[in-house]
A and B are shown apart, each in its own frame.
Chain A
Amino acid sequence: GAGVSQSPSNKVTEKGKDVELRCDPISGHTALYWYRQSLGQGLEFLIYFQGNSAPDKSGLPSDRFSAERTGGSVSTLTIQRTQQEDSAVYLCASSLAVGTPLRGEQYFGPGTRLTVT
């Protein structure tokens, strides 16, 4: 079946502009995660959604970052007033329910490469 898809694959934006990154998880996966991969910081957790529970936003680096998940499926990560340090690859992942033996088995999308000029 289809894996996790993300769009766009590449995004170049000017400093100060807002961007939206989209993630389509694997059908039936109730948990969805956003990570950021950058040269200086490695792979960092940003936010995760589990079913209808309130999202865990503990990894968001500033209030310029937000995310939502509509209908328990598609998710959008929004970065407002982008800065050069936001340049990174943004990865989305999904998994079956968190509280199971499959804990930690996440399926990753190809990522969106964001470049802020």
Chain B
Amino acid sequence: GDSVTQMEGPVTLSEEAFLTINCTYTATGYPSLFWYVQYPGEGLQLLLKATKADDKGSNKGFEATYRKETTSFHLEKGSVQVSDSAVYFCALDAGGTSYGKLTFGQGTILTVHP
């Protein structure tokens, strides 16, 4: 079945450090890929997406590139801020009979210290 695997957390960084959160997936067909973020005390919200191979999603300084050859969608940010502290979820929509359903990774807790 479809699945998403994220790097184990938690991740702790100092402000202005470089961030990478790894995400790999297994899916049949041509999934769309997403990063969702859950800030403390807030609901889950879409951060960025990519719908086909080699697409790059970007938002708020975060980027992720859809790599079909490595089945990956790693999240990166060049310089993190304290306000980026949150839980990050990689997800896919596999399409086909799974159309509309999101399959999530386990989530990665990010803490950024001043």
Contacts and interface: CB of A to CB of B under 8 A. Distances in A.
A110 B93 contact: no
B93 A33 contact: no
B40 to A, nearest CB: 12
Interface of B: 32, 34, 36, 42-46, 49, 51, 89, 91, 93, 95, 99-107
A43 interface: yes
Contact of A104 (B32, B45, B107): B32
Interface of A: 3-4, 31, 33, 35, 42-45, 48, 50, 56, 58-59, 91, 93, 95, 98-99, 101, 103-111
Nearest to A31: B100
Given A101-B51, A103-B93, A108 B103 contact: no
A11 B49 CA distance: 33
Given A103-B93, A104-B93, A45 B43 contact: no
